[in-house]
A and B are shown apart, each in its own frame.
Chain A
Amino acid sequence: MNFFKSLFTPFARVSNRNYTFLIIIDCAIALLLWQVFAAGGLIPTPGRIAGSVLRIVSTDDFFDNLFSSLTLTLKGMFYSIIIALVICYLSVVPIFTPVARFIIKCRYLTLTGLIFLFTLLTSNGHNLKMSLLIFGIVPFFVTSLLSIIDAINEQEYELCKTLKMNNWQTLLEVVIIGKLDQVLEVMRQNFAIAWMMITMVEGLNMSEGGLGTLLIKSNKYIDLGTVFAILVLIFAMGVFFDLLLAKLRTWFFPYTKLQIRK
Chain B
Amino acid sequence: MTYKKEEIILQVENVNLKYDRQILRDINFNVHNITRPDMQQGQVISLIGRSGIGKTQLFKILAGLLQPDTGGVKIDSDLHPVKAGEVGVVPQNYILFNHRSILDNLKLGLRGSSEKRSDKEKEDLLNEYAEKFALKEHLKKYPMQLSGGQRQRVSILQQILTGNRFILLDEPFSGLDPVIKDKVLELLVTISTLNELNTLVIISHDIENSMAISDTAFILANQEGKEGATITETIDLMQLGLCWDPEIKKNKAFQDLVAQMKFRM
Cβ-defined contact, A163 with B84, below 8 A = no
Q: A164-B85, A255-B144, A258-B144 are in contact. Are A181 and B159 (CB under 8 A)?
A: no
1/0 per residue, CB under 8 A from A, across B57-80: the answer is 000100111000000000000000
Within 8 A of B (CB), among A159-174: 159, 161-165, 173-174
Q: Which B residues lie within 8 Å of A177 (CB)? A: 99
A186 → chain B closest CB, angstroms: 16
Q: Which A residues lie within 8 Å of B112 (CB)? A: 163-165
Chain B: residues with Cβ within 8 Å of the partner, total of 27
1/0 per residue, CB under 8 A from B, across A91-107: the answer is 00000000000000000
Cβ-defined contact, B95 with A153, below 8 A = yes
Within 8 A of A (CB), among B147-188: 158-159, 162, 164
Query: Given B89, B99, B145, B158, which contacts A158 in the complex, CB threshold below 8 Å?
Result: B89
Asked whether A47 is an interface residue with its Cβ less than 8 Å from the other chain, the reply is no
Cβ-defined contact, B99 with A255, below 8 A = yes
Asked whether A155 is an interface residue with its Cβ less than 8 Å from the other chain, the reply is yes
Cβ-defined contact, B65 with A259, below 8 A = no
1/0 per residue, CB under 8 A from A, across B104-128: the answer is 0000110110000000000000000
Query: Given B85, B93, B111, B142, which contacts A162 in the complex, CB threshold below 8 Å?
Result: B85
Q: Which B residues lie within 8 Å of A181 (CB)? A: 99
Q: Is the interface of A mostly helix, strand, loop or mixed?
A: helix
Asked whether B87 is an interface residue with its Cβ less than 8 Å from the other chain, the reply is yes
Asked whether B251 is an interface residue with its Cβ less than 8 Å from the other chain, the reply is no
Query: Given B60, B85, B91, which contacts A163 in the complex, CB threshold below 8 Å?
Result: B85
Cβ-defined contact, B144 with A155, below 8 A = no
Look across to chain A and name the residue whose beta carbon is closest to the beta carbon of B66.
A158
Query: Given A161, A163, A258, A259, which contacts B108 in the complex, CB threshold below 8 Å?
Result: A163
Asked whether B49 is an interface residue with its Cβ less than 8 Å from the other chain, the reply is no
A14 → chain B closest CB, angstroms: 23
Cβ-defined contact, B95 with A159, below 8 A = yes
Query: Given A178, A258, A259, which contacts B97 in the complex, CB threshold below 8 Å?
Result: A178
Cβ-defined contact, B144 with A162, below 8 A = no
CA distance A15 to B164 in the complex (A): 48
Asked whether A223 is an interface residue with its Cβ less than 8 Å from the other chain, the reply is no
Cβ-defined contact, B109 with A163, below 8 A = yes
Q: A155-B91, A258-B145, A259-B144 are in contact. Are A161 and B99 (CB under 8 A)?
A: no
A256 → chain B closest CB, angstroms: 9
26 intermolecular pairs with C-beta atoms under 8 Å apart:
A153-B95, A155-B93, A156-B95, A156-B97, A158-B63, A158-B65, A158-B89, A158-B91, A158-B95, A159-B97, A161-B85, A162-B65, A162-B85, A162-B88, A163-B111, A163-B112, A163-B162, A164-B112, A165-B85, A173-B97, A174-B97, A178-B99, A255-B98, A255-B99, A259-B98, A259-B144
Q: Which B positions have Cβ atoms within 8 angstroms of A?
A: 60, 63-65, 84-85, 87-89, 91, 93, 95-99, 108-109, 111-112, 142, 144-145, 158-159, 162, 164
Q: Which A positions have Cβ atoms within 8 angstroms of B?
A: 153, 155-156, 158-159, 161-165, 173-174, 177-178, 180-181, 253-255, 258-259
Q: Given known contacts A159-B95, A163-B158, what 16 new A-B pairs fall within 8 Å (CB)?
A: A155-B93, A158-B63, A159-B89, A159-B91, A162-B63, A162-B89, A163-B85, A163-B108, A163-B109, A163-B112, A165-B85, A180-B99, A181-B99, A253-B99, A254-B142, A259-B98
